[in-house]
Amino acid sequence: MMIALFPGQGSQSPGFLTPWLELDGAADRLAAYSEWSGVDLVAAGTEWDADQIRDTQVAQPLIVAASLLSWNTLDERERVDGVAGHSVGEFAAAAAAGILSEEDAMRLVGIRGRAMAEAATAESTGMSAVLGGDEGAVLERLVELDLTPANYNGGGQLVAAGTLDALSRLAEAPPAGTRIIALQVAGAFHTRFMAPAVETLRAAVQDASVSDPTLTIWTNRDGSTVSSGAEFARLLVEQVASPVRWDLCMASFAAAGVDGLVELAPGGTLTGLAKRGLRGTPAVAMKTPADREKFSAMLQGGSE
């Protein structure tokens, strides 16, 4: 089984869309994505600096646009059997699976980004990666500090989210055997702090046209497959304030017999997690258009 992965916020870097815009039709497609999302994605992906594209309301549509742009250039995407996205990447996955049109996906992710950015202004919150250690001990420490495990990324990596004060105390007294890395994000995503954004997105989804998926699609909620487009849309909304269970997604990929992964642009993060969580599974990260040749080689039996 070949599975396409769509990355989440934090995978972007300054200028990363420049080589993609050299492809025929890419500039026009990105201009349409910009109109639908309400963000100048051409400038964001080619000219803006790291601080500008870290802004939640820019980063989210930028990443989804990049994933869809690269997905549309894959001549052999008919060889893909299933899709999954990490956090905001679920919107790109939903479009690839036919649940949402690209217009609705970009419109909704623009609304999501703005709503989450606004929700993040209510309190001083953030996120930190917790690497290593015993998961049970890590979770106990998060409970003590009133922090939420927002992302279970697998391979010994959790992301804690909550108030900046609590995150500082976590860094000062981390669980045994762990390393704490503060993430450059504007708020505590996938936690109760995002509840206002959930309601905004729920209202916006009512205007979207939703279809049942044409490809197998896994949800971040619990790693299960979803056969109803309406159910997946509901989960997209609720996921804004719920933990991302990427560890369970990877376990489901293994159970489904995955034999290859391709991570759409801006690729690298999810294939990196797969090296630990799905050891030995061939994977290609779409960082530039040249990586399409690596995908073709993997399909022919070669691997990175």
Task: Provide the annotated active-site residues.
Answer: 87, 190
Cα separation of 56 and 115, whole Å? 9
Placement of tokens 């996938």 in the chain: 190
Interatomic CA distance for residues 46 and 103, integer angstroms? 22
**Helices of type H across 25-55:** 26-37, 41-46, 50-54
Indicate if the alpha-carbon torsion angle 222, 226, 231, 234 is positive or negative.
Answer: positive
Burial of 4 (0-12, 13-18, 19+ CB in 10 A): buried
Contacts of 259 (CB under 8 A, 6+ apart): 1, 2, 281, 282
What is the spatial distance between Cα 117 and Cα 29, in angstroms, rounded to a whole number?
26
185, 210 contact by CB (below 8 A): no
Distance CA 204, CA 109 (A): 10
Helices 56-71, 102-119: inter-axial angle, 10-degree rounding: 160
* Rounded CA separation 205/209 (Å): 8
Contacts of 231 (CB under 8 A, 6+ apart): none
